[in-house]
Structure 1
Amino acid sequence: MQRKEKREDMVATLPKRIILMRHGESQGNLDTAAYTTTPDHSIQLTAQGIAQARHAGEELRRVIGGEGCSPDWRVQFYVSPYARTRSTLREVGRCFSKKRLIGVREESRIREQDFGNFQVEERMKAVKETRERFGRFFYRFPEGESAADVFDRISSFFESLWRDIEMNRLRHDPSNDLNFIIVSHGLTSRIFLMKWFKWTVDQFEPLNNFGNCEFRIMQLGTGGEYSLAVHHTEQEMLEWGLSPEMIADQKWRATACRGDWNDKCPWYLDAFFDHLPDSDDDAVENEGETNSLSEKRFQQNEEWKIKDNRIDQLEYDFSNFYGDEKNCKLAFKMEFSNK
């Protein structure tokens, strides 16, 4: 009973939504040559990007303040320090009144993947082609980062995020809805989802990038687990690159109790094992087959050892009899060609 009450108290302090949002269209999205003369962190939004951010702000306002919201709902922003994300936040913020905002925290750990200082356009094309062959998660850009490096700093950011929640550093009244909006970058947001939902590298690789000012809403389900399936449709998740197994897990999370284990989505095992027996009896049967195969291999090895020892002995006998190495090899060859 105490455990249940503790879990309910914990759920009451959690944000109702954690929203991941990519910045609006930037000069670099429009023309990659911009990266050859302008540092990545200084790339600005285009006029289209500003309009996208304002429209996204209106959409977020409708989602957060729509039907079923608490009367005194609030928003906490986290933003990457890059110019394009800060500008996106500025336009999104126009759609919220001051009383709705708890605050904004600039967070360097949710910045863009570092592609390596000034980027020579032709060189970057070749580098990105190499990344596709090598693998998007582990490939490290020259003078830059890999997605695995981004994963490490996102993991550190998670710890800070949870401390903010558990220690109520935002001074939030649990009776009202709290919403986190994280204004970041495409790959960083995908890595965030990967870390949160414990997706494997193989599950991460096929994920499609966010569009400019596109957002994903992780919303608390009825049991206290976050899920993409509370707000988003199955078709949307398919378009993002989630596999059917990943989507099934999101649907399960929408109603699962916090801390429960999903044993109906076995992909977390199938990703690591070729075959797992369904019962202990099957396991014993498989063990017998494995032992039988091992015995056969052992017998074969013993037979080869006997043959090898016989050949070594014959070589020794021939060398003693013929003396000369050349005559020995010739006689040895003739001996075995007749067998």
Structure 2
Amino acid sequence: MGTDKKILPKRIILMRHGESAGNIDQGAYATTPDHKIPLTEEGRAQAREAGRKMRALISAQSGGTCGENWRVYFYVSPYERTRTTLREEGKAFSRRCVIGVREECRIREQDFGNFQVEDRMRVVKETRERFGRFFYRFPEGESASDVYDRVSSFLESLWRDVDMNRHQVDPLSELNLVIVSHGLTSRVFLMKWFKWTVEEFERLNNLGNCEFRVMELGAGGEYTFGIHHTEEEMLAWGMSKDMIDDQMVRVNGSRETLNDCCTLQLDEYFDLLDVTDDEE
């Protein structure tokens, strides 16, 4: 059992894979298993550029070079396009910066079934729009709610890793966790993390290829997008004003502050007409 002091990650960075063959030709899924869909050359270039930007961001915000005070630990989906994205992205990081990589099956793409016939999938996705993106389960595949369950399990494991200091990071170094995954999986991860509702999840737009979003530990001990991202960016992601306000409170607020500012959705479920239990 780990005995070292728990070191909270300074940043948790979610990144989607680069452009894949399936992104430019839906017919690729009819002949190639989803997990074997490769990156395009453009996708490889996107990953290398994203790696350079990510390293520059971490280094600049940490106020030093890699050898001084920051390290990175990667979690990666087992799909070919995410693994290749990490290989290309990783070219921006020296070996000394990277303290570990773990392939994690629970952050794989939503399962859409087996080989995907393009015409049939078009009809299926139209049905999903009518049914609702979160609860619609693809024939022979998963719903977003199924993905939510396995991502929840992954988060429990991630926090056990943190609690037991399995990342083995030097206490003097900032720990950065980078999760290289997929668009829907990343949105579900955020839904679970920030306790967003199904309706709030349905608002969210997908990440672009090799787009990454940075959650940083705020002064009050809460993770937030409000340090590295603007309110305009979050609005473009599909976040509501309440969701954005919550992110901004997290920059300096503690859990107690959040509880004071958040109605915990009471107004949606209860008619709070009075503040007392006394009856007339």
Give the TM-score normalised by the residue count of structure 2. Answer: 0.94
**1:313 corresponds to:** none
Q: Which has the larger radius of gyration?
A: 1
**2:130 corresponds to:** 133
- Out of 146, 150, 169, the position equivalent to 2:147 is 150
**Deviation digits for residues 252-309 of structure 1, max 9, x if unmatched?**
1111225654332326223433x322522xx65xx66xxxxxxxxxxxxxxxxxxxxx
Larger RCO (CA under 8 A, 6+ residues apart): 2
**1:243 corresponds to:** 240
> Residues 144 and 156 (structure 1 numbering): CA distance in 2 closer, same or farther, change over 3 Å?
same
Q: Number of aligned residue pairs: give it.
A: 273
Contact 2:18 2:209 in 1 (8 A): yes
> Residues 152 and 163 (structure 1 numbering): CA distance in 2 closer, same or farther, change over 3 Å?
same
What SS does the aligned partner of 2:89 have? helix
- Out of 95, 99, 103, the position equivalent to 1:102 is 99
TM alignment of 1:1-339, pairs within 5 A: 13-69=7-63, 71-258=68-255, 261-266=258-263, 268-273=265-270, 275-280=271-276
**Deviation digits for residues 29-72 of structure 1, max 9, x if unmatched?**
00000000000000000111111101100110111111443523
Greater helix share, 1 or 2?
1
Distance 1:258 1:167 in 2: 23
Tell me which amino acid in the other structure corresponds to 1:15: P
**Deviation digits for residues 187-240 of structure 1, max 9, x if unmatched?**
000000000000010110010000000111110001111001111000000000
Give the TM-score normalised by the residue count of structure 1. Answer: 0.78
Distance 2:187 2:269 in 1: 22
Contact 1:36 1:121 in 2 (8 A): yes
Distance 1:279 1:23 in 2: 50
What SS does the aligned partner of 1:99 have? coil
Tell me which amino acid in the other structure corresponds to 1:57: G
Distance 1:95 1:121 in 2: 37
Contact 2:249 2:258 in 1 (8 A): no
Question: Quick one: percent identity of the two aligned structures?
Answer: 65
Tell me which amino acid in the other structure corresponds to 2:261: K
Tell me which amino acid in the other structure corresponds to 1:249: D
Query: Which runs of 5 or more structure 2 residues have no equivalent in the other structure?
Result: none
Distance 2:79 2:243 in 1: 31
